[in-house]
Structure 1
Amino acid sequence: MDWRAESPELWAFLGSLRCGEVLSGTVTAIESFGVFVAFDDGPPHPLYPGVGFITIPELSWRRFEVASDVVQVGQRVSGEFLQFDTWNAEARLSLRAMQPDPFHAFAECTTVGTELHGHVTQLVPFGVFVQVADGIEGLIHRRDLMSPTDEFVQIGDDAAVVVTGVDRERRQLFLSRQTTGQL
């Protein structure tokens, strides 16, 4: 669709937005692929339930199961403008950009060898994720779980772990079982 010809007012509005600008509106629809937002200011979208769109990864720094764990239809939100999606004639937004990244604060005071306690949040073929602080999860690789004395690990189990690596750029925390404790 040629959005410039079909909706010149919308195209002009989206073209006037600048990266980093904060836009406010109301959540109008939640889909498996993201969230639509109708802005307080600006024209409506002729096809979608909102001119603003938030992809799933941009909703929150924390892990969640479904978008409705973070926002609800009818909720007022403010997000940082990331880009003008010219294909869909949408303003891509980020809610998480409006909050400090909890991983960076955690990484500043955590070093390799730090002993932590948490609980198992997810079992995956390559290991186990353990939540060690609010919004902070790390991975114990499968090879670090294999031992004849290990019992079957379940979601919710308490875990005593040691930090084996922190990748600030990728926001990854690597863990191992504490040798003095059990997972």
Structure 2
Amino acid sequence: MSESVPDPRLQSLINKLRPGPLRRMTVAGFDGADVLVLLGESGEEGSEVGRIPQDEVSIRRADHPSEVFTVGQRIEAEQIGRWRGQLNLSARACENPELRAFLVAIQPGQIVSGTVSGVHNFGVFVHLDGEPQGLCTGFIRVPDLTWDWITHPSEATEVGQRITGEVIMSETRSAQVTISLKALLEDPLVRFADQTGHVLNGTVTKIVPFGVFVRLGPGIEGLLHVSEMTGSPVESPAQLVSEGDQITVRVAEVDLQRHRVRLRAHDS
């Protein structure tokens, strides 16, 4: 299995979404749809004031946070950062202690298994082994399903299928574990990298204004820019080829870091 270079933007997001410290506090009142709290064990006057934003109050649907909390109530919430100097917290992240314990125990890079419960055009839901009964915590984004080119997640998995993946992040606030199946599969470009300069046959899979994508093998697609196409210049690549056409191209570059293949016309 190949090791990809971590995307610093993704890593920054993962760090922000990791569970924060657990804090004890007292409900002091309400500021519109937000909850104001006094931090600390005593909750006495003079304690630091924190805020639980409306969307962090509860997993349950409520028109106003007073339906969930009462003034003077002692609660636990997760520290999520500061905004304009005031500490913000999430009560929803602590609402189900069993669920929180399960999510906190799961770390990025951990290998987990589960059963696919739903397949949708935006991703796949998974019942992870060991999660609290009645909940569904696993989720696979479409780009994390496979190295192969697919038009719908149902081409890569199905309901009831047992899967094993690598954890990308575990979020207590959304009660979701994002996992990747692709992370446990070898990047097909690693073996393909020595094809630079070779002439190969491929299938046109997609036509875009700036060129066409050509499938050269399982999980391997390259871009043939319109400027490289025989018969250029033209207003659209569709004037030269159609999806499904078999064409011959030369591999100009294999970029493993960006996971891209650049193609040229075979006679250039």
TM-score by length of 2: 0.61
Where do 4+ consecutive residues of structure 1 move more than 2 Å? Answer: 1-5, 148-152
1:87: Cα distance to partner?
A: 3.1
1:86: Cα distance to partner?
A: 3.2
1:110 maps onto 2:195 in alignment: yes
The answer as to whether partners of 1:163 and 1:174 remain within 8 angstroms in 2 is yes
1:164 maps onto 2:249 in alignment: no
Find the partner of 2:154 among 65, 68, 88.
Answer: 68
Unaligned runs of 5+ in 1: none
| Aligned equivalent of 1:141 | 225
| Distance of aligned partners of 1:106 and 1:31 in 2 relative to their CA distance in 1, 3 Å threshold | same
Of 146-155 and 121-130, deviating more is 146-155
| Aligned equivalent of 1:174 | 262
Unaligned runs of 5+ in 2: 1-57, 59-90
- Provide the C-alpha distance between the structure 1 equivalents of 2:128 and 2:257, rounded to a whole number of angstroms: 33
- Provide the C-alpha distance between the structure 2 equivalents of 1:52 and 1:102, rounded to a whole number of angstroms: 26
Aligned residue for 1:71, secondary structure, equals coil
Count of residue correspondences:
175
| Aligned equivalent of 2:142 | 56
Q: What CA RMSD, in Å, does the superposition of the two structures yield over aligned residues?
A: 2.0
CA deviations on 1:131-159 (whole Å, 9 max, x unpaired) are 11222111100111251699630112111
The answer as to whether partners of 1:122 and 1:128 remain within 8 angstroms in 2 is yes
Aligned identity (percent) is 39
- Provide the C-alpha distance between the structure 2 equivalents of 1:165 and 1:55, rounded to a whole number of angstroms: 28
Task: Compare relative contact order (CA 8 Å, sep 6+) and give the higher one, 1 or 2.
Answer: 1
- Provide the C-alpha distance between the structure 1 equivalents of 2:129 and 2:172, rounded to a whole number of angstroms: 21
| Aligned equivalent of 2:240 | 152
| Distance of aligned partners of 1:149 and 1:6 in 2 relative to their CA distance in 1, 3 Å threshold | closer
1:40: Cα distance to partner?
A: 2.2
Aligned residue for 2:195, secondary structure, equals coil
- Provide the C-alpha distance between the structure 2 equivalents of 1:43 and 1:148, rounded to a whole number of angstroms: 59
Structure of higher CA gyration radius: 2
- Provide the C-alpha distance between the structure 2 equivalents of 1:102 and 1:161, rounded to a whole number of angstroms: 19
1:99: Cα distance to partner?
A: 0.9
- Provide the C-alpha distance between the structure 1 equivalents of 2:178 and 2:133, rounded to a whole number of angstroms: 15
| Distance of aligned partners of 1:39 and 1:152 in 2 relative to their CA distance in 1, 3 Å threshold | same
